[in-house]
Chains A and B, each alone.
Chain A
């Protein structure tokens, strides 16, 4: 961050030494730079008055392809006052609202259901909103999800993740539709229990980011998508025909057989979904299914 301040100061000096004709636009931009510098200074002062024991230092990954000085990825330090119960997301919001409004990250529900703030915090995929700072060693290093293209700062491109989710035909599709608008399809409690954990996925992408295989094989469906396939393949209401089609999708070359059972997806899943187990179960289903034709 200090480099940026120096840069701004230099520019200011240049302006002062050359009071040439100033366009209104240039004047505005100049005021804007000055204001930015004032904010930086205010932040420095504010940070300087903070007691070490009451603060936490964030080391935040910064990158913006458009803005000069941010095109080269770097880490910025932010010292944020700490209070009990504070999460990584709280600290990021504080840093953004008080110190640098260009600090960019996704977040919305801040209660672990929208799945938008999956980040790489101290070397592990976590949801910013459900990670207590008190559980982490400082300084807290915050990076975008690995193995995803960075759009800006902590925001990654989720398109590939969504494409893989869509590739497994992620929607319920029963062989038979009940007659009558108020006629239910019955589902046993046991069957609901069986698919329950798989339905908890919030599409945060943490599992995909943690998976070594997905990192090396762009076509691998990945744990979240396979889990989605599991959710429907195991639902007794869909019927045998549809199940056969679902198994065909996950048996493909870049499907379940790519999984090397490293458990990293299961380890990082913020909703505790036993992803690896679900992948293994689909492997077994696939084998059973194929054996019966021999």
Chain B
């Protein structure tokens, strides 16, 4: 068994920031990651990092924009904390040597971004995430922070108590991918889950293959509720064959979207007559899919994004990176032909419920970054707000887990924060399968940390042995079934019947999953095994997304419902929460907090 004060699971932006913070606080900290830190998906972020740095700008303007952008589903304490902490975090990155783009006077550059009332997005070319990730990894190296790379955390070790709010997390269990060894990790201060996104629940996503919602599913099964899981952001311009992102910059520079009849769809079909191609992400994504569904898509699948008219010089000057992406990943020369694009899953606004200090309702269990839902982005994340989120809340989780005395959180977590019970009737009893083998609490009334961890290790060993030993179907089939139904039914457009179909399909996939087995018998670098365990996690997050989408009977932010075409503030300014109860998700609601530090946010129509 390994022992540290703080264990951080996942070593992307949030994980690295948390580890550095815990280390600064004097804790002995370790990063456990299924990749290597520099392979994390934070490196793929292009846009930038929002922070109010200049005179004339201020944290409360940033907070206001974020609340409005969230379509009033964000919690004010989270948003205020975020906007206040962001500037210092960004300048700290600068002190750590991050190669930001610079102004003539040598200060970091800031540019305008969608939904922002002030140009407050700092950036490093169009590779901001790459530079942020590497700068932070460098700082982790400088501090000698221990990294267990290519170790896959399969579960957390949590005490057994009926009430999740009385449970304690003592550590986690990880599988060494290189050797096949399964070991317990004891964390005296806390375990921070920073495992990133869950895009692989969909078959078309900008997310990395490793983004399988591991942290979400692990925390959920341990008893920490998932919040606002239906809020999935779809990006309108991704390459059809891979999901690789084509930056909003193309439309910003004047790129035009055409349908199969070579019509400029945004204007000719009147989707956004004022803004055209520069309408907000959700609007453009819906427009593209409407065209495809009406039979005006190309190959019944996508539309064209044309930038040829901008001229070679301007394209190479400002959009060179896009030429490479189209060429390398789609085999299309953007100078000679239009690029095929379609909407793709991009970001999960929901996640593991936690407070401003990153803590979940389970003592000692934290979540940060895309895995978490402090309730910052609400129903819609503004571009440039994901990177400061992982800095601010990664750091806070790290400090708190390492024992820093911090202001008591205003956001309440756990089932006791319930305002009302959910009343959605799913077509099937989702998830009420395979209980027992997946129970997460330690056996009996054990409260001694070591035995809690040992029991969890024993269960994980048994689970992995079983998967390796028995015969069965390949996980890839189950994974593909889930991804397909999610893309067919829980995509940009959602309607009741489709959501119910998806729940039935997920239930079917759950049954199928009972028969999965790993056919590669090797203990050495068994990716078949890793992907099989990941698929289990995808089932839980896919189900949560779908149940949340079925429950939320309104149109808010990224969540569009055929039957409900309006935002219904009176009834729906509340979070959809899912708690794991003996393998069955229990739906309930939690009020949104609109009372901020300075003023109470009044819901207004979100129009730009």
Question: Which A residues form the contact surface with B (CB < 8 A)?
Answer: 25, 28-29, 31-32, 34-36, 39, 64-67, 70, 83-87, 90, 97-98, 101-102, 104-105, 107-116, 129-130, 132, 134, 151-153, 155, 158, 162, 166, 169-174, 177-178, 181-189, 192, 195-196, 199-203, 232, 235, 237-238
Main secondary structure of the interface of B (DSSP, over half): loop
Residues 116-140 of B contacting A (Cβ, < 8 Å): 125, 127, 129-131, 134-135, 138-139
17 pairs, A vs B, C-beta closer than 8 Å: A32-B517, A36-B519, A39-B519, A64-B522, A101-B476, A101-B519, A102-B520, A107-B209, A109-B39, A111-B325, A113-B43, A116-B36, A130-B329, A182-B53, A185-B95, A187-B102, A199-B134
Nearest CB in chain A: distance from B89 CB, A: 10
| Complex contacts, A87 vs chain B, CB 8 Å | 242, 328-329
Contact status A85-B521, CB under 8 Å: no
Contact status B44-A182, CB under 8 Å: no
Contact status A171-B138, CB under 8 Å: yes
Once bound together, how far apart are the Cα atoms of A201 and B137, in whole Å?
13
Contact status A109-B41, CB under 8 Å: yes
Once bound together, how far apart are the Cα atoms of A190 and B325, in whole Å?
27
Contact status A111-B242, CB under 8 Å: yes
> Taking A35-B519, A114-B208, A177-B95 as contacts, is the C-beta distance between A186 and B43 under 8 angstroms?
no
Nearest CB in chain A: distance from B91 CB, A: 5
Main secondary structure of the interface of A (DSSP, over half): loop
Contact residue among A29, A184, A202 (Cβ-Cβ distance under 8 Å from B107): A184
Contact status B329-A111, CB under 8 Å: yes
| Complex contacts, B38 vs chain A, CB 8 Å | 114-115, 202-203
Contact status B94-A171, CB under 8 Å: no
0 or 1 for each of B136-151: is its CB under 8 Å from A? (1 = yes): 0011011000000000
Q: Which of A25, A34, A85 has the most CB of B within 10 A?
A: A85
Once bound together, how far apart are the Cα atoms of A189 and B135, in whole Å?
19
Once bound together, how far apart are the Cα atoms of A192 and B210, in whole Å?
32
0 or 1 for each of B191-223: is its CB under 8 Å from A? (1 = yes): 000000000000000001110000000000000
Contact residue among A39, A130, A235 (Cβ-Cβ distance under 8 Å from B97): A235
| Complex contacts, B41 vs chain A, CB 8 Å | 108-109, 114
Contact status A189-B328, CB under 8 Å: no
Once bound together, how far apart are the Cα atoms of A241 and B97, in whole Å?
16
| Complex contacts, B134 vs chain A, CB 8 Å | 199, 201
0 or 1 for each of B454-497: is its CB under 8 Å from A? (1 = yes): 00000000000000011110101000000000000000000000
Contact status A166-B141, CB under 8 Å: yes
Contact status B470-A102, CB under 8 Å: no
Contact status A200-B127, CB under 8 Å: yes
A105 nearest in chain B by CB position: B527
We find that the number of chain B residues with CB closer than 8 angstroms to chain A is 70
Contact status A108-B329, CB under 8 Å: no
Contact status B91-A181, CB under 8 Å: yes
B330 at the interface (CB under 8 A from A): yes
Contact residue among B40, B101, B241 (Cβ-Cβ distance under 8 Å from A114): B40
Contact residue among B39, B518, B519, B527 (Cβ-Cβ distance under 8 Å from A115): B39
| Complex contacts, B474 vs chain A, CB 8 Å | 97, 101
Contact status B469-A116, CB under 8 Å: no
B244 at the interface (CB under 8 A from A): yes
> Taking A108-B210, A110-B242, A158-B36 as contacts, is the C-beta distance between A132 and B97 under 8 angstroms?
no
Once bound together, how far apart are the Cα atoms of A290 and B332, in whole Å?
50
Pick the 3 closest A-B CB pairs, nearest first: A172-B97, A186-B106, A102-B520
Contact status B178-A151, CB under 8 Å: yes
| Complex contacts, B127 vs chain A, CB 8 Å | 113, 200
Nearest CB in chain A: distance from B148 CB, A: 13
| Complex contacts, B108 vs chain A, CB 8 Å | 184
B605 at the interface (CB under 8 A from A): no
Nearest CB in chain A: distance from B195 CB, A: 13
> Taking A67-B521, A181-B91, A188-B102 as contacts, is the C-beta distance between A25 and B469 under 8 angstroms?
yes
0 or 1 for each of B161-196: is its CB under 8 Å from A? (1 = yes): 000000000000000001000000000000000000
B331 at the interface (CB under 8 A from A): yes
Contact status B135-A108, CB under 8 Å: no
Contact residue among B43, B106, B470, B476 (Cβ-Cβ distance under 8 Å from A109): B43
Contact status B106-A28, CB under 8 Å: no
Nearest CB in chain A: distance from B210 CB, A: 4
| Complex contacts, A132 vs chain B, CB 8 Å | 328, 331
Nearest CB in chain A: distance from B298 CB, A: 14
Contact status B44-A111, CB under 8 Å: yes
B96 at the interface (CB under 8 A from A): yes
0 or 1 for each of B47-84: is its CB under 8 Å from A? (1 = yes): 00000010000000000000000000000000000000
| Complex contacts, B139 vs chain A, CB 8 Å | 171-172
| Complex contacts, A134 vs chain B, CB 8 Å | 331
| Complex contacts, B2 vs chain A, CB 8 Å | none
| Complex contacts, B518 vs chain A, CB 8 Å | 101
Contact status A155-B525, CB under 8 Å: yes
Q: Which of B100, B125, B471 has the most CB of A within 10 A?
A: B471
Once bound together, how far apart are the Cα atoms of A235 and B138, in whole Å?
15
Contact residue among A65, A116, A185 (Cβ-Cβ distance under 8 Å from B94): A185
Once bound together, how far apart are the Cα atoms of A105 and B531, in whole Å?
12
Nearest CB in chain B: distance from A45 CB, A: 17
| Complex contacts, B522 vs chain A, CB 8 Å | 64, 66-67, 70, 102, 152
Once bound together, how far apart are the Cα atoms of A170 and B241, in whole Å?
36
> Taking A114-B208, A152-B522 as contacts, is the C-beta distance between A130 and B95 under 8 angstroms?
no
Once bound together, how far apart are the Cα atoms of A109 and B40, in whole Å?
8
Q: Which of A67, A101, A130, A183 has the most CB of B within 10 A?
A: A101
